[in-house]
Chain A
Amino acid sequence: MSDLQSHNPSWQLHCPISIPDNGEVITLSHGEGGRLMRRLIHEHIISAFGTMPSDSQAVHQNDPLLLMDDAARLPAIDGEIALSTDSFVVSPLFFPGGDIGSLAVYGTVNDLAVSGARPLYLTLSLIIEEGFPIALLDHVLKSVSTAARHTAVQIVAGDTKVVPRHAVDGLFINTAGVGQLVDPIAPGANALCEGDELIVTGPIGQHGIAVLCAREELALEPPPQSDCAPLTRAISVLRERMGMRIRAMRDATRGGVAAVLHEWAGASKQTLTINQCDIPVSPEVRGACELLGLDPLHVANEGTMVVAVEPGHADCAVEILRSLPEFVHATHIGSVTKKGISPVTIARTLGPEQPLDDPLGAPLPRIC
């Protein structure tokens, strides 16, 4: 709980819709398997995904979600599949640029996409706090539905649990996703070689700062917006145009870009070097980070990835990304260099290159 008393539950803060005082709320009975639960599932959850897109009419007619079986039965997939899962516990549930619903879809879809898969199916598990307004749940489910439609994935299975007050912070969501691996698949961080070039697809730190400012009600103007968005289009275009010249891709979620670079350095046993002045950071994120003593490189993203490409191909990758309106700030930020002083180094004002810290945990804002 972001607050310490029940008078003012955090999920009521920053909510984009007005919740009537006498509005219907989730009770423990909604999770007990009886009539109330079935009604909740049919009238609120399944109805939110009633017109899911599908590239197979057969699947649509036999929508696994509508069948309400214990398991979704899905058509055979040609070749290898990718499977990923993620849990979403963001507070507040609504923040500038997104909410827990869109985050739960894009988070798992992006994990599949950066792994070289075309996302196909998602499961959706809800853990809801007793007393949670149903109007708010509808709002989140609508957001899940819109995000799923946007990325052409189908919600095929789910689960709903209701827990007593304070057992969760309003609403937690877990999604698991299945995708079909599609050639060419980037070989991954193990294959990074000296001279490979590093790109970020947009301004960094947007999500972490947007959520922090919303949670702590830091009234920055303009309020920083989360980058919560799918990476599927960018990945698909990059793969189409660059093929095997892409070495690795990773969405820079918790721990930010620095955590990705450290993971890659560890996997490849190479040194990754970036230039401070090349890293795209929006003025509002930069301002917030300066104020709070945070490094944007350590702050979470939810729709921004790091891409490594073969030597000499960063400009091409940047040009391809910048042709997409949502990635106009894609930038070449550094390269893989010969084994240096530290796994990841950064060139700042004067140089020489200095070690870039691997984030320890959640960044804590400073005193002054």
Chain B
Amino acid sequence: MKYLDEYRDPAAARKLLAEIRRCANRPWTLMEVCGGQTHGLLRHGIEAELQGTVELIHGPGCPVCVTPLEAIDFAQQLAMRDDTILASFGDMLRVPGSRDSLLQTKAKGGRVKIVYSPLDAVELAKRNPDSQVVFFAVGFETTAPATAIAVQKAKCDHVDNFSLLVAHVRVQPAMEALACSPGDGVQAFLAAGHVCTVMGYASYEPFVKQFRLPVVVTGFEPLDLLDGILACVRQLEAGEARIENQYARSVRREGNVAAQELVNSVYEICDRRWRGFGEIELGGLQLRKNFHEFDALKRFKDVSQLPIVESSECRSADILSGRIKPPECPAFSHACTPESPLGAPMVSSEGACAAYYRYRNLQNNSPSGSPQKRG
């Protein structure tokens, strides 16, 4: 298949792997920002192949994982109302809230509908004029244009029973927070290719100057990932810190300007609490004033916020900030499994715990190489 097979060629991958090993005169520590990259690295065995040469620390780029617990709890409360349908992307459904997941809420009679596009949720609202339809708008800058179009469409078509529960997050402020945190050991970043497709990479130019850390915009296929890692290693070996674009077939410096304008017309930047991180300055998007009528938080003021309850065993905060790897969490694969997750990273399609659970060699799934057994 075009644009896939050529980026999964084993012989080319082996060549890149050999080149990385040849270039690296000492071990380097990189962070791949996006959860899709984490899954690619583990799924294709790259992370294991590079052990001893490049350590890959898994970043916070799983929007499902960082969606605040209170937003999930709120979504569940909305779904349980007789007059409301909660529309969501599929991979939010297994994420544990304080009490239940949306899948459990659905089983208990909550009206939860999986949609494939935010525009489907607008159509759902049109077909159900007697119900309130709330779309759970989670995701990075990659999904924000689609939710922006949905709310514009709802406004244009006067779909008054449609609203958004907005939990959009922005990648770069989280990277800045990580780069500022002392002792995290990250020496370079693989920036998230799809976010940069929308946002471009010009904003990383001051970032690399300020933090003196190489940033390479990287795709998701094995050859993309290896190529991005090689570019980081070359910069590090040369003592450089530049922004590079490995994912040129998708990303331009200025990004997708039309998508950015769309997002800017509907959303404004705000501070946001990230699950596992706490408050991140300028780390989120919220609806602009002229779209407040579509803000579910404002529309459903009568829904009382229940106290949030985070698992005391789950170390997802440390995992999302790269302080530990999933197998280092005592609950990993024992108390916490995809069947009974304690935290979002175990069930999100971009979650690091899910990646380790699915793809890592079970006899070698701890960084120290000690055997681990699935619970």
Contacts and interface: CB of A to CB of B under 8 A. Distances in A.
A286 B10 CA distance: 19
Given A7-B127, A364-B114, A349 B44 contact: yes
B114 A368 contact: no
A69 interface: no
A350 to B, nearest CB: 4
Interface string B218-247: 000010000000000000000000000000
A184 interface: no
A368 B113 contact: no
A4 B46 contact: no
Given A286-B1, A348-B45, A360-B339, A367 B359 contact: no
Interface in B116-141: 116, 120, 124, 127-128, 130-131, 138-140
B194 A368 contact: yes
A218 interface: yes
A6 to B, nearest CB: 10
A243 interface: no
A168 to B, nearest CB: 18
A17 interface: no
A357 B363 CA distance: 15
Interface residues on A, range: 20 to 34
B109 to A, nearest CB: 13
A350 B44 contact: yes
Contact of A365 (B4, B91, B363): B91
B85 A360 contact: no
A352 B48 contact: yes
B272 interface: no
A4 B110 CA distance: 12
Contacts of B161: none
Contact of B89 (A4, A350, A365): A365
Contact of A367 (B10, B46, B130, B143): B143
A109 B349 CA distance: 36
Nearest to A357: B358
A232 to B, nearest CB: 32
Interface in B313-364: 338-339, 349-350, 357-364
Contacts of A368: 63, 139-140, 142-143, 194
A364 B85 contact: no
Contact of A364 (B93, B138, B362): B93
Nearest to B113: A4
Interface string A288-302: 001011000000000
A342 interface: yes
Instruction: Name the residue in A283, A293, A360, A367 with the highest tally of chain B Cβ atoms < 10 Å from its Cβ.
Output: A367
Interface in A151-183: none
Contacts of B113: 4
Contacts of B21: none
Contacts of A23: none
A285 to B, nearest CB: 11
A3 B8 CA distance: 39
A345 B9 CA distance: 20
A343 B95 CA distance: 27
Contacts of A311: none
B91 A349 contact: no
Interface residues on B, range: 35 or more
A218 B138 CA distance: 21
B143 A360 contact: no
A4 B85 contact: yes
B5 to A, nearest CB: 9
B287 interface: no
Interface in A315-359: 341-342, 348-352, 354-355, 357
Given A283-B1, A352-B48, A366-B90, A4 B194 contact: no
B362 A342 contact: yes
Nearest to B195: A368
Contact of B127 (A3, A216, A277, A287): A3
A251 B362 CA distance: 28
Contact of B94 (A8, A286, A348, A364): A364
Contact of B350 (A218, A292, A366): A366
A271 to B, nearest CB: 11
A350 B40 CA distance: 12
Nearest to A276: B8
B90 to A, nearest CB: 3
A213 to B, nearest CB: 10
Contacts of B128: 4-5
B222 to A, nearest CB: 5
B184 interface: no
Interface in B1-53: 1, 4, 8-10, 13-14, 17, 43-46, 48-49
Nearest to A8: B127
B116 A365 contact: yes
B164 interface: no
A352 B45 contact: yes
B350 A349 contact: no
Given A342-B362, A355-B362, A364-B349, 11 more contacts: A4-B85, A290-B1, A341-B363, A350-B44, A364-B90, A364-B114, A365-B114, A366-B89, A367-B92, A367-B350, A368-B142
27 contacts: A4-B113, A216-B120, A218-B116, A283-B1, A293-B91, A341-B363, A342-B361, A342-B362, A348-B43, A348-B44, A348-B45, A349-B13, A350-B10, A350-B14, A350-B49, A351-B45, A354-B360, A354-B361, A360-B339, A365-B90, A365-B114, A366-B349, A367-B64, A367-B90, A367-B143, A367-B349, A368-B140
Interface of A: 3-5, 7-8, 216, 218, 277, 283, 286-287, 290, 292-293, 341-342, 348-352, 354-355, 357, 360, 364-368
For the complex of A and B, 6 pairs with smallest distance between CB atoms: A364-B90, A366-B349, A365-B90, A350-B45, A367-B89, A349-B44
